[in-house]
Amino acid sequence: MLLSKSKHLVGLDIGSSTIKACELVHTKKGYSLKNLATAEIDSGLIVDGGISRPSELAHAIKALFNENRIRLKNVALSIGGYSVIMKNISVQKADEKALHNSITMEAEQYIPFDINDVNIDFHVLGPNKHNVEQLDILLVAAKKDIIEEYTGILESVGIAPGVIDVDVLALQNCYELSSVGGQHTTALIDIGASKTSLNIIKNNVPVFMRDVSLGCGQIDQQIVSQCECSIEDARKIKLDRQSEKITAEEIDEIESGVIKNWCTEIRRAIDFFYSTYPDDSFDQVILSGGGANIEEFRKLLALETSSKVEVINPFINVQINRGRFDSDYIDSIAPQVAVCMGLALRRVDDK
């Protein structure tokens, strides 16, 4: 039986260069892909997670839904970057109301924003292994103005935000659907246009999260500088690998330099993880986002981390009508829609 339309949600991932929408339904055989749509947006429309031109973004989202006949207007949306703070903390065991009050009071010492300017939520990870009287908690705080900015745009075009998630947690949901399970430690790394997210999970529990301001847009910007062209033209040059203004070899050199910088910054974040958790290590790296498609990056990251590096396949446990969805398109877009897929797994009645 399909999920009630009042229960399932369209996953909507609003990136700085692309917006993606995904709709999944649940059948007796598991999840099935109902809708998948992407659309590029103008550069500068979203900067550092903030929206510079709200009306243009609203128009782009409305067009994405209309042109792809996405009729369900309830969505799961995610935010990330510096507007979100996540911490693993421990608190005394208590009933739900007392636990909520305790966490709210504890939150002030972990959040670098005014407590009145954020929305706070938490997830109980389980008993603390060092103290049976305490619980391990994942504390999440998100700036109210960012949430209101995004939800306001959705509501202006008749779309209801049913769930507000966090990018790295949506990616983890997708990974858990697509993985074979098992007790191990994994580094999930999402390379987007302007932001890279790292989430190291141990037995499906997030233990270390970090966002870094780098991404595929750095390649575009360097092509812009060298060719004196627009961002849109730079994206086309990068894809086509040819232009009168720049050679394929020069594009390769630009990419190599940017990729080395990615690996350096990721290595620094991982070193910090090891300094915080000296007894832990991770078994594998799972990549998502546009950067995951770059072979040179995958090889260099494997050397830098001394780990097996793989690209996520969010569709591996999802039924796809190959007559409706082009196989080549699905395969090429797969790592870029991982966050979107994770959002589409959310339900209206989720916490």
CA distance readout (Å), 93 to 90, 108, 169: 9, 19, 24
Q: Is the CB of residue 349 less than 8 Å from the CB of residue 76?
A: no
Tokens describing residue 333: 């877009």
Tokens describing residue 286: 């799972």
Tokens describing residue 99: 């636990």
pTM (2 d.p.)? 0.92
**pLDDT per residue of the chain (351 residues) written in tens, 0 to 9:** 233 345 789 999 999 899 999 999 988 889 999 999 999 998 788 877 788 999 999 999 999 999 999 999 999 999 988 889 999 999 999 888 888 888 888 888 888 888 899 999 999 998 988 898 999 999 999 999 999 999 999 999 999 999 999 999 999 999 999 886 556 789 999 999 999 999 999 888 898 999 988 999 999 999 999 999 998 899 999 988 888 899 999 999 999 999 999 999 999 999 999 998 888 888 799 999 999 999 999 999 999 999 999 999 999 999 999 889 998 999 999 999 999 999 999 988 775
pLDDT for res 41: 92
pLDDT for res 185: 87
List Cβ neighbours of 274 (8 Å cut-off, separation of 6 or more): 280, 281
Domain locations in the chain as residue ranges = 85-142
How many whole angstroms separate alpha carbon 286 and alpha carbon 311? 6
How many whole angstroms separate alpha carbon 294 and alpha carbon 306? 18
Q: Is the CB of residue 133 less than 8 Å from the CB of residue 93?
A: yes
Tell me if the domain spanning 85-142 has CATH number 3.40.50.300.
no
pLDDT for res 4: 38
Q: Is the CB of residue 343 less than 8 Å from the CB of residue 76?
A: yes
pLDDT for res 1: 25
pLDDT for res 183: 64
How many whole angstroms separate alpha carbon 311 and alpha carbon 337? 12
pLDDT for res 182: 59
